[in-house]
Structure formats: C-alpha cells, structure tokens
Amino acid sequence: MARYKDYSYTQGIMIPVDFTQQILPGTLEHTIHWLVENRIDLTGLEKKYKNDNTGAPAYDPRIVLKIVLLAYSRGITSTRTIMRACRENIVFRALSADSSPDFTTIASFIRGMKDEIRSIFTNVLLVCAEMNLLGGTEFALDGCKMSSNASKEMSGTFSDLQKKKQKIEKTITYLIEKHEKQDHEESDQELRKTKRDHEQRIKRLHAKADKIEHFLAENKPKLKSRKGEAQSNITDNESAKMKTSHGVVQGYNGLALVDAKHQVVVHAEAFGSGQEHELLQPMIEGAKETAADAGLGRDYFQETRIIADTGCFEEDNLNYLAAEKVDAYIPDQQFRKRDPRFADAGRHKGKREKLYTKEDFQYDETNDTFVCPAGKKLKYSRDQKFGNTEGRRYISSRTQCRDCPLRANCLRSNTTRYRTLYVIEKYFNRNYSDEMKKKIDTPDGREIYSRRMGIVEPVFGNLRNAKRLDHFTLRTKAKVNIQWVLYTIIHNMGKICVFGEIPT
C-alpha cells in the first residue's frame, strides 16, 4: 500500500513578513509609495479632517491614496474589491502598512477629491518635468468615449420621457386589471406565484414612473449648442449619448493632451459631450492652468505644435489656436479624399452622377424660398455660421424628399432625409480653414498629422487594456472626472517608473 506524507488542516504556521521587502525598487508600487510620501502635497485633503480632539482616528489620506492608485493600476475600481485586496493581497497589505479601510471609507475618499485631484496631478507632472520626461514641443489631443454608470434607456427629450411615463402607467393599469381578474379565479400555488410576480413588477413600474415624474418636475430641458433640445438622462443628467466604433453609449468623453516624448499626459478632463470641436478650447485653457500650477508657466504651450483629429476642425478653434501662437495640425473631414495616396480608393465603387448644386435651384425672392429641380420648395430655416462664412440655411421636408424621383441626384445617400442649401452672405477676413487645408495637404503636413496616433493612442490603449478601464463606474461629471484623472495619474506614474530615476 502506498505511503503519503502526513498533513493536517488543523495546524497553524507563522510566516514572518517584512513589508519593506514586498515594495521592491523598480516596481510600480514602489513608485507610488515614493511619490506619495515625498512629492505629492495632500494638505488640501488633510484639512478636511476635524478629529484633532474628538472622534475616532482616521486613516491617513496617504495610505488610502496609495491603495486607490495601486488598485486602479490593476484595473480594480470596485471599492468592495479594493477592501478585500487590502486583506488578502500581500502587496496591498504591504503598501497600506496592513491597513484595511472599509469600502465606504475608500468610496468617500475618492468622491471627496473633487478639488484636490488637480493638485495631485500637477505634483506628478512636475516630477515628470524634473526627470526630463517632457519634450515640450509637440502634443496630441484626443478623446476616449466610454459608457458610465447611467442607463441609456432612461434618456430622451422631455416629451420622450413623458411618453415613456405614460406607457409605464398603461402597463401598470393592464397588470392591475389582469391581477383583479385572477382574484375571481380558482386559487392554486402557481396562480399565487403569478400574482406575486405581478405585484413585484407593478411595484417596480410605479417606482420607475415616480422617478421620471420627479425628474421632469425638478429639471429643465437641456438645450443643444446650436438649436433644439438635447436628450436628458434620468440616471445621470450630466452624461450624454455618444457615437463610438462599438455603437452609441451613454457616458462621458475623457480627453487627454499628451506630450510626444514619452506619452506623458499633461492635462486630462472628462466631459459629458461627444462633440470634440466644443472641447478643444476648454482643454487648452485647462492645460495652461495645469502648466502654471506645475511651475511650467501659462505660456508653456506657445510656439509648440498641437495635433488633433478631424472632430476639432472648426474655424473658431483654428482662430483661437492661432491667437495662442500654437502651430496646429487639424485636418478637415475631407482631407483623405484630397490625398494623392487615396486617389484610387473608390475605383471599385460604381460611378454616380454629380449631385445638384445651388445653381440648379431657383430662388423665389417674394417668398424667400428655393425651388428644386422637382418643383418642391426649400424654406428658410435659420442663419448659420460655417467655417469663415455667414449665411442662411434652407431645408426641404422629409415627405417631399421621401418618394422624389430625383432623390438619387439630389441627396448624398439613401439615409439622407431631406435636402439643405447653405447660401453664403458674408466671408470673414482671414480663412483659417483654407490655410489649414493647404498646410495639411503638404507632404510635411500629412507626415506630422500621422504622428497623432503614435502619441495619444498608446495612452488610451494602456488605460483601456492594461489598466482595464472599459467604462466609468461613477456618476456626475465631477466624480467621473476624478476617476479619469486618477487613471491618467497612474499612467504618468508608470512613465516615471520606467523612464525616471526613483531613489531606492
């Protein structure tokens, strides 16, 4: 008969653990520990504690910050999971000096960094500058759209939400009538279970209807930047619907301005808008404030190069960057069609007749309308600014264009709903848009713009894949911004770990 070594689950052992031996030089946890202990000013957080003479002792904010940064570096955002790691993972126990704060303490600490998160970011950025990790000559700007802790189904204009509430109330009425009808039938166990399910569903629907009613009473419709009503969201009204490569998400757009030398983030902010042309100027102004706070000076970005994607191409943005003395490279949406390398890109597509131009439409001065080749009227819609021009916009109606026999020669695609005309009335003195197009179309311009992806996309790849930030877990812009900036801080700490020199 085989013999085995003795074992017993009732025995105990004592393992001596030296926490200093678990935080090894050259690791990210050692970088976090050294930066928080020596280079990050937490005076703002420390002022929030009022337990000098009364109350229980609090966890040192340095300890909690180290725990949160290490957790985010490993893709852990759940405060309960962070709490469990502090009790089970030896690296977390070593970095926290065997502290194990409750998940509510960790969550409260993260939410409470609204005013201090920028100071922490600038402290780390200053260390990057001192270690010569910033080139300071070329930067790339881009955004990363991600879903947040908000329900996309609870979005809509106020009229849409009112209709949703009415639909829920009709469902409640139907279930109540069905419930009352079943009361007169023979009772059995299965019927009683069905009634309980109906009662629970009715309760949930009542709560949802009440939530919509309360939201409509307490809030006002959100307006679009140009015209019309934007969609509101009951769960998180500061979030927005955004188009991504994976479909439409309800969330936030995390923007980052990245230095070209080592992909260090010099400014980061989350916005509840997917329209990046509206966010370029706030990002540059925020970057100037960050540079000033880090001791680099408000004019740090003057005489530098900033590369952005087509979403930022707008006359106002180009004018602003020129006034800021920034050498910008921002292509328009049609720049690839003018690139000789893509000259035969459409060789496999069928040829199509040219679309009707403004010259094909007859203007009726008496009624201020245009008449299309099919005899339909395009009415005045609004005054509009586009590029370096001002003019008037005319539109047809969906019903006119839906079954028009000339539709293929008038509309750009089958999904276009109606025809529009833009009549230019005024040109501005300087056309920054045309200047940018000419600059981008040069061989040097195309080569410089091609660097954008190599500068900023590795940052998003690191955050979304290595750090596993595939969605925001918090609500409201202030809290989501804290989470976004914390992730960019840990990204910059990783650059310091790899390229900097941390004392052992």
Summarised one tens digit per residue, pLDDT across range 122-171 is 999 999 999 999 999 999 999 999 999 988 888 888 888 888 888 888 88
Q: What is the spatial distance between Cα 375 and Cα 50, in angstroms, rounded to a whole number?
A: 76
Which amino acid does the sequence have at 254?
A: G
CB-based contacts of 202-208 (< 8 A; 24+ apart in sequence):
202/172, 202/175, 202/176, 205/168, 205/171, 205/172, 205/175, 206/172, 208/168
What values do phi and psi take at 48, rounded to 5?
Answer: -75, -15
pLDDT at position 281 is 94
Q: What is the spatial distance between Cα 492 and Cα 58, in angstroms, rounded to a whole number?
A: 29
Confidence of residue 348 (pLDDT cuts 50, 70, 90): low
Q: Taking 60 as the threshold, does the pLDDT of residue 185 lie above it?
A: no
CB-based contacts of 168-172 (< 8 A; 24+ apart in sequence):
168/205, 168/208, 168/209, 168/212, 169/209, 171/205, 172/202, 172/205, 172/206, 172/209
Q: Taking 60 as the threshold, does the pLDDT of residue 186 lie above it?
A: no
Q: Taking 90 as the threshold, does the pLDDT of residue 413 lie above it?
A: no
pLDDT at position 226 is 64
Q: Taking 90 as the threshold, does the pLDDT of residue 283 lie above it?
A: yes
Confidence of residue 341 (pLDDT cuts 50, 70, 90): confident
Q: What does pTM read for this prediction?
A: 0.82
> Token pair 């003795």 is at which residue?
6
Cβ-proximal residues to 300 (8 Å cutoff; 6+ apart), any chain: 136, 288, 291, 292
Residue that wins the pLDDT comparison between 189 and 71: 71
pLDDT at position 346 is 62
Torsion of CA 175, 180, 186, 192, to 10 degrees: 50
* 70-83 per-residue burial string, b: 16 or more CB within 10 A, e: under 16: bbbbbbbbebeebb
Summarised one tens digit per residue, pLDDT across range 232-254 is 888 889 999 888 888 889 999 99
Q: Which of 18-22, 30-34, 121-125, 475-479 has the lowest mean pLDDT?
A: 18-22
Mean per-residue pLDDT, 210-236: 83
Q: What is the spatial distance between Cα 428 and Cα 71, in angstroms, rounded to a whole number?
A: 52
Summarised one tens digit per residue, pLDDT across range 363-379 is 998 889 999 999 999 99
pLDDT at position 247 is 86
Q: What is the spatial distance between Cα 383 and Cα 422, in angstroms, rounded to a whole number?
A: 9
Summarised one tens digit per residue, pLDDT across range 74-103 is 999 999 999 999 999 999 999 999 988 999
Q: What's the topology of domain 125-149+241-339+441-486?
A: Nucleotidyltransferase; domain 5 (3.30.420)
Residues 297, 168 contacting (CB under 8 angstroms):
no
